[in-house]
Amino acid sequence: MTTAQASPRAKLRLGDRIFTGSTLTAGIVILAALAAVAIFLLAQSIPALVADPADLKGSPSSFWEFVGPLAFGTVWSAFLALLMALPVALGIALFISHYAPRRIAQGLGYIIDLLAAVPSVVFGLWGIGVLAPAITPLYQWLVENVGWFPLFAPPVSGTGKTILTVAIVLAVMILPIITAVTREVFLQTPVLHEEAALALGATRWEMIKIAVLPFGRPGIISAAMLGLGRALGETMVVAMVLSPGVLITFVLTGPENSPTIAGNIALNFPEAHGLGVNALIATGLILFVITLIINSIARFVINRRKAFSGAN
């Protein structure tokens, strides 16, 4: 009996060996590709990082002063997009998973999945052709009536090409990603947990707060990070919609805005040459580091949450 029990562990079947080898190879390839990208960015960035500041176009004193507004604009626009998209996505996901009838839920699920497949250039055209002109009167009203608040300080943009417009378009873009992931997470909530909460007299919303949201919290964080990563690296929408400046500003409705790294690369790379190319690649390295740090923080939070849940 001991031999029979040990035999399957000692010798894996052919299919198991193939699957194990395939997954191991895929993991190694991903790590190798990530390392290759990091090495390329670092090697190409060194000339810009050690160059004389006077040789860097658009950098009045140093490379870091040049990349500062870019990094700020990237994080600021992505944060605004996530701030707008996450509550809406959670509401849609909860409606599909726990409120809507099955036929309506299936239809909404298909629509959400199709929305995720729309190219970013289409969102950019919608943002510059429809959203920006339509939202300009709102910006004017905000500046006239709430201009004392720093986020809406004058002057106001007359074209609607502001960081807030970009954030709204980015929020629409990342909405399907967050919704699709959180919907599947909510559907995996153990039925016994939900039924136990309802049996104790909880309403449907109380059941969601007690059973569904705590169970899906790691998935919500993961979905938010996926959406944030999409917003951080978006290029076409920012290049088409935003009217960039060269400053760091929190104003949401002004004519000059902090540019983003991806948008700046898209706009300037075709005409860049020599050290200018290295400077743009160096900004790409900064975006790589920002994304890596944000995802690492999210992974730490998720792992800590799992460890805490396991200890309890």
pLDDT at 1: 47
Rounded percentage of the chain residues whose pLDDT exceeds 90: 27
What gap in Å lies between CA 77 and CA 258, rounded to an integer? Answer: 9
Q: What angle do CA 163, 169, 174 make, to 5 degrees?
A: 120
Q: What is the mean pLDDT of residues 90-94?
A: 92
Mean residue pLDDT of the chain comes to 84
**Residues near 156 by Cβ (< 8 Å), separated by ≥ 6?**
139, 140, 142, 143, 253, 254, 255
Neighbours of 261 (CB within 10 A): 27
- CA distances to 76, 93, 150, 194 from 249, in Å: 10, 34, 10, 46
What gap in Å lies between CA 210 and CA 226, rounded to an integer? Answer: 25
Does the pLDDT of residue 41 top 60, yes or no? yes
Each domain of the chain, given as residue ranges in start order, spans: 22-306
pLDDT at 23: 92
What gap in Å lies between CA 239 and CA 260, rounded to an integer? Answer: 9
Does the pLDDT of residue 294 top 70, yes or no? yes
pLDDT at 57: 57
**Residue 138: strand, helix, or coil:** helix
**Residues near 158 by Cβ (< 8 Å), separated by ≥ 6?**
136, 255
Q: What are the pLDDT digits (tens) for 215-251?
A: 888 889 889 988 898 888 888 888 888 877 767 888 8
Does the pLDDT of residue 169 top 60, yes or no? yes
What gap in Å lies between CA 191 and CA 207, rounded to an integer? Answer: 11
Q: What are the pLDDT digits (tens) for 246-287?
A: 678 888 888 888 888 888 888 888 887 878 888 888 889 999
Q: Which two tokens stand for residue 230?
A: 């999409």
**Class for the domain spanning 22-306:** mainly alpha
pLDDT at 296: 86
